[in-house]
Chains A and B, each alone.
Chain A
Amino acid sequence: MRSAGYRLFGTTADVGVSAWGGSLGEVCAQAARGMFAVLVDLRSVRAREPYPLEACGEDAGSMLVAFLNELLFLHTTREIVLRRFEVLVASPDRRLGTARPHSRLRATAWGEAIEASRHTIETEIKAATYHRLLVARRNGRWRARVILDV
């Protein structure tokens, strides 16, 4: 198994992404890649423009869901597809209002405007859900599982 990556799996109605990585930031980035792999053939996407974004939640799980939903919002309203993600999870800092650990991230996503001639959007994803949501650390490695409502 590669040190960081993602895998897609099917449920009766929907699609799930499981992701792994060496840090929480890395696992969030891989989950995002997995989600965009559901939307579009990632090989057709060029990492041309950077799109900065932030997300926060009650814990690592809801932060990841908020991050993916923010990316979906950018995808549908800016009409872009994304393929590369860099995610920094803020350390807990009471002064910045991040008293809870693993609850706030800052990210840059790279991608480009959708061009009908090069990009086929395969599916419409309504949202990343909390269903069977999992973000966990074991033996120094991070794992995540998110189910997408398509």
Chain B
Amino acid sequence: MRDFFSAYRRELIASGVLVVLLSVYLGTHPRGASTYVLTIWANQCVILGLVAIAQFFAVIVRGIDLSVGAVMALTNTLASHLLDGSAVAIGLGIVAVLVAGVLCGLLNGALVVFGRIQPIVVTLATASIFVGIALILRPTPGGAVNYDLADAITLDLFGVPTALVIVAVLVFAFWLPFRRTGLGLGLYAVGSSAQGAFQSGMPVTTIRLAAFSLAGLFGAIAGLFYTFVTTTGDAGIAPNFTLNSIAAVVLGGVLLRGGTGSLIGALIGAFILKTIAALMFFSGIPSLAQPLFEGMILAVAIAIGGADILRARNRLEAFGR
């Protein structure tokens, strides 16, 4: 039991914060914990949660992806063209959107691995390219999406928000099994020490490429989900989501130096951020002061995450971080 606590300390602290924030939110919301309120809340949280997962896969191998928002904008605008018509057409459209995301991620990965450019700079440049393509696809926000499908994905299943069901499936059917596969372990190994992983005979190059491709894939899933929630394509969403995804993974206990953290943590971090924003709306704080409070809560949350340093027994421990 103690092992469990020390292994998942970061996730447990973050989920504790989330539970407190969520109960305050549901307590202050005029309509309480109804399915309606929860569905809207879950949709917003899950959009950012999926982008945060994309960021997580880049960060876990000691990278960073400043193009997650751009991949999301690109796939969102693409989806706004492809998600209407017959069932077959929509199915193919979804596949095409996901493939586009993976290709974006693969391009990032290839430039990092073979071009030997730092991830932060690569993704800065590719983000500009992806946003450009998104702007060609949708110069102004618009588009049509099949409403039945959008409703099915963004409303509720027997009173439980579908978005939360999707997240549960993602965690239990994808992440927990994936974590134990060779690739899943490889991500952590490369993030902790690329040299160590290489000397143990791990295919470091392939693992890095896979990590960035997964980042692209989840960027696309986020773009797809965003399309279902808003039913429009908008090329201008990139910067906001990129910056929030970094804040989300850090809040969820994922270390930017790589090798530490989990997909669940990234999700919780995103949920915390969005719950804070939702909480602001009903908190009675004057609307002009809300952005300031949001920023301050973000800074305090991050500072608490950094308070680990106060437990360091030796100042030299700090430099390894």
Same complex origin of A and B: no
